[in-house]
Amino acid sequence: MDGDIASKCRKLATSIRSEGDARTRLKYCRQAIGFGRTAVKTAYTLSDTDLSDVQDTLRLAGRASRGTYNPNASITKLAKVRMERAGLTQLPLISATRTKLVGTDTACLAISSQTLPGNWLDTHIAIKQVNAASYAVMSVGSDGSYSVCLRLIDAHHHFLEHPEYKRVIEVSPAFAIRVENEQIFFGAAEAIKKGVGFKLANGRYICSVTSLRSGRYLRFIATLIRSDEDVPAIHQLPEFREV
């Protein structure tokens, strides 16, 4: 029965994405929020995959409802269960940068182990390079200044600090990054090395980027996990919006 909650959330996520009528879509979002509250009550009986899918549906519902529904309390409680199940009492940081304010004139951030090639603005090329684990470009909606932070954690999931979940706006799909020169950077796509970065071992990493409300400037956290696992190919670049 508990697994039915996750199944219903997955079906609702499909409906929310495909529904063209705003009122019907809002109804689906409200249903998703209700299922999320139920999932919190039964969280310890759900599989980790089910918990992840419920969290994804809740984020989608909050975004699609344009702030009418706030799912972050439920997302935070589900994340706490997932961290406890992994035996974590705090974020298992290996490396982390301080938050830094960066400016972009291309409305794009990027994560890469080196300066991006001159053709990165070509969307088709950028998508191909993300799927090749070379670099990742993401749209932030408009030019301006943004706070960025880069983390490497020792975990199987892209966890955040508990208080951060309450300020989450959007989370990118997971994507792979291959490091070959023992360094990684996160910042404005046109000047990535002026952002934040640190040294790390060569190899393949899985990354996810999260946008959060944080005072005057939107904040972006890029979280890396060392992994050789496959990730689904993306067909469009990650896009963030402030809602």
For residue 175, what are the β-bridge partners? Answer: 207
Report the C-alpha gap between 53 and 13 in whole angstroms: 9
Query: How distant, in Å, are the alpha carbons of 119, 128, 208, 220 from that of 122?
Result: 6, 10, 22, 23
Mean pLDDT (the chain, rounded) = 91
Check: CB of residue 174 under 8 Å from CB of residue 158: yes
Residue 242 is predicted with a pLDDT of 60
Q: State which amino acid sits at residue 65.
A: S
Yes or no: say if 74 and 37 are a contact pair by the CB < 8 Å rule: yes
Task: DSSP letter for 204, please.
Answer: E
The stretch 172-187 carries a mean pLDDT of 94
Q: Which letter does DSSP use for residue 43 in this model?
A: G
Neighbours of 229 (CB within 10 A): 10
Residues 111/184, Cβ–Cβ less than 8 Å = yes
Quickly count: other Cβ atoms within 10 Å of residue 37's Cβ.
14
Residue type at 182?
A: E
The pLDDT tens digits of the residues spanning 40-51 come to 999 999 999 899
Out of 3.40.50.300, 3.40.30.10, 3.40.50.970, 2.60.34.30, the CATH code matching 93-226 is 2.60.34.30
Q: What percent of the chain has pLDDT over 90?
A: 66
Distances (CA, A) of 7 to 42, 47, 165, 170: 14, 12, 23, 22
Predicted pLDDT at 231: 86
Residue bearing the bigger pLDDT, 190 or 79? 190
pLDDT higher for 166 or 15? 15
* pLDDT at residue 156 in the model: 85
Q: Taking Cα atoms as reference points, which of 130, 105, 141 lies closest to residue 207?
A: 130
Judged against a pLDDT cut of 60, whether residue 32 lies above it is answered with yes
Burial of 14 by CB count in 10 Å (0-12 exposed, 13-18 middle, 19+ buried)?
Answer: exposed
The answer to which of 114-128, 201-215, 227-241 has the lowest mean pLDDT is 227-241
Please answer whether residues 138 and 110 qualify as being in contact, where contact means their C-beta atoms are separated by less than 8 angstroms. Answer: yes
Q: What residue ranges do the domains of the chain occupy?
A: 2-85, 93-226
pLDDT confidence of residue 241: 74
- Contact at 8 Å (CB) between 53 and 6? yes
pLDDT of residue 1 exceeding 50: no
Q: How far is the C-alpha of 52 from the C-alpha of 121, rounded, in Å?
A: 32
- pLDDT value for 243: 53
Kindly list the distances between the CA atom of residue 223 and the CA atoms of 40, 68, 240, in Å, as whole numbers in the listed order. 25, 28, 16
**Residue 158: what pLDDT?**
87
pLDDT given for residue 105 in this prediction: 96
pLDDT digits (tens, 9 = 90+) for 168-177: 888 888 899 9
Mean pLDDT calculated for residue range 190-208: 96
